[in-house]
Structures are given as C-alpha cells and as structure tokens.
A = this chain, B = another copy of it.
Amino acid sequence: MPEFTKGELEIMQILWKHGEMKPAEIQEHFPWEITNSSLRSYLSILLDKGHLTRHRRGKAYFYRPRTKQESTFRKMLNELTRACCDGSVEKLLCHLIRSEKLSEDDLLELKRIAEASDEEPTSGKEKS
C-alpha cells in the first residue's frame, strides 16, 4: 500500500499547492496530457481512500486535500530510509550529502540550520 499511485500523487501535489480546485482547473495544471474523464477517475479514487474532500460551489465540485503533505512526506521518507539506508537516518544524511544534490550554499545553509536547531531544540527526539 504505497499510499499514492503516480497519478494520485500528482493531483495531491497540485491540491497541496493551490488549496481548492475543481476538476477542470486541476486538469490544466496537470503535468501531462490527460482527459477530464481520466482525471475525475483519480479524484473519485482519492475521495474513496479518504485523501480528499469535496463540496459543491456553483455547478461544480471543489476538491480539497484531507491528507497533509507533511505526513505524506514522513511516510515516503520512512520508506526511503528503510529501503535504501537500512533504516538509519545517519546513512540517509550521508547519502544526501554525497549525492551531489547539494550546492555549496546548501551546505552552508545546512550547517546554519543544524546549529540553530542544535541551540534551540524545539522538537528533537531524545536518544540517550
């Protein structure tokens, strides 16, 4: 149960970004060509799964996300960590830093964030 299929995830992204939309609007923002029909198939599946709500306004339904981007992020991150980093967040960080995805600026930013969070730990999990 990988939370979302490819198409479903696309829709969630668009909705997370724009907040509330009707099918035709989502269709316009969709990253590839798709008919309104297909799009609405996804929408009703997401509705069934409980990831979306909708309510009528005018003659169309407007869809709104019920599942938070944040919680999806965590699930995907957990999966990634489990699958490719043997469940270790440390390995994840190492991979991340060695992955060439980070620019010089990112590294400095990272250091800054780490120091800030280190000094003022608002949500740090205790390990010892």
**Could you tell me which A residues sit within 8 Å of B by CB distance?**
1-2, 6, 9, 12-13, 17, 69-70, 72-74, 76-77, 79-80, 82-86, 89-90, 93-111, 113-115, 117-118, 121-128
B97 touches A77 (CB 8 A): no
The count of identical subunits is: 2
Q: Tell me whether chain A's interface is mostly helix, strand or loop, or mixed.
A: helix
Q: How far is the CB of A65 from chain B (nearest CB, A)?
A: 12
Q: How far is the CB of A90 from chain B (nearest CB, A)?
A: 6
Contact of A113 among B2, B72, B84, B97 (CB under 8 A): B97
B114 touches A127 (CB 8 A): no
- Name A106's closest neighbour in chain B (CB-CB): B89
On whether A123 and B111 interact (CB within 8 A), knowing A2-B6, A13-B83, the answer reads no
